[in-house]
Structure 1
């Protein structure tokens, strides 16, 4: 803190009444007459600066200023008054205007601003200029209101942010729930479609089976087994040394000699007679070109070119040709001439040997 140097003492003391001076007279109130001096001492205005201010050393320091700085302002005001007095004197000396008397009020000295106590304010200090006219309660109330307003704004912002977080979390949860529901609905829809498809497939299969049964029933009316009271002794493709090719080429119905042989389906007799290892053989050709061979007959009851219908007797069971006992050797050949399984062909036409 800068300290002011003492103002220079005037070399004259004006008389209170006459204006004359005396070296030992000290009136109660001193007045200065601008422009009136008795020596050649020159007055100059002192403006405090960094070069002219001497820092205070030691334990003394400026006490804390509470609520503003009226004491500091008073000191500055005092310095300004002194400066104004000096400036007025110089102006009066230059312009020749009559001297004006100015009373200097009692001002606190610089030492009053310095205190040894840390927490005690200097005498003469007042409230801050920015809080002039306000009581301590008003200031505290204002601070409290400002703090409350700030706290309210912070709380409101926090609530808004929390609401936003909650909304985003809710949106994510709703999206996940919607996705899960959509997935579940898709699965249920797929299951329903699969169930409906299975039901439709089963329905179609049942309808197809019913239709096939009806067809076979109708064919059964058109087809019949070649003989009755028989036993299946050999099947198609069976291996053995009894057959010259090494495999059986037909289906054998063992029955007593003389058992009637019937036309399996309507057609035309294309062969009838002796055929080597087949013995007596009859060939019945159907309308689609399929050939049915009846071999090892004991007798033939039809002739070539004869038309026969389903169930007509065309011969008798025998043991002619390469045989080991009485039986009917039945072969089925396609229109191309290749042999097929007679059992499968009979079943395909509604017959069960």
Structure 2
């Protein structure tokens, strides 16, 4: 299949105005390179255009052992990255062909093992370095709450938490969005945009009235209108409805109208995401986000990532070309039912966000 063009058609008569945007974290002066001033494009806007990558081994949520500490020491960062390099080298080694039992095969990049592996490390590119902002390595992508953990409400149904992963084998529309080639898996399309196991590139293009973020995974094209109002709440679109505005050198984007299948752990109807894109050096855009979803989270969720400049190109992501996965998934479930065997869940599903 050729790449898909996503066209968002919004009725010109939509007059519903959004509520005031929640306060998002301001750009720390330490994150901006000394003496740096973002270049301007032909429209006088800070130039965010180019290809950027958020690939990283920094996790979305912080390891509890760090408590409320956001910054790693240089020694800690070097140790983590060194261990990651060693693991990558081991995972890229040739598989021992004498192993006949698939459950005894070594782990793959996703952390799965054996027959559940899916891809070995040769096919993946989760990143090799920690998130560094202002030269400081981070313990987590999340910056709030202070412990770097998602403040999930205990009464959120488990089915909602699994909204993106699928789990029903009776209907193709119940399967994960990535399996269906609608949007990228694990929140890579956003908002907020999360690093995953591979294809972590984003190409940003600007016009006077819009910013387009082309997502490498599944070739999603997210269109951010500069100015305007959101459509009525009943209009739900993939990746939501994004309206941007310029605050100095920062592009602030408010997204509403997300579908429940997307979002951070599956949104409720009033979920809102505010993102801030600030070019802080020739090689980096500071990407900040805030998720407000009172039905799912006990407090606002904030995070920061580094979008690092790359000279790589984005190639077509032909998700359905020669792809018989959906046929195999549903047919395998029917065969298991005929044989009286339980239909397993997403065994070997890759981890959702934040590196490997």
Question: In which range does the TM-score fall when normalised by the shorter chain?
Answer: under 0.3
The TM-score normalised by the length of structure 1 is 0.19
| Higher alpha-carbon Rg | 1
The TM-score normalised by the length of structure 2 is 0.19
Relative to its length, the structure with more helix (as a share) is 1
Relative to its length, the structure with more strand (as a share) is 2
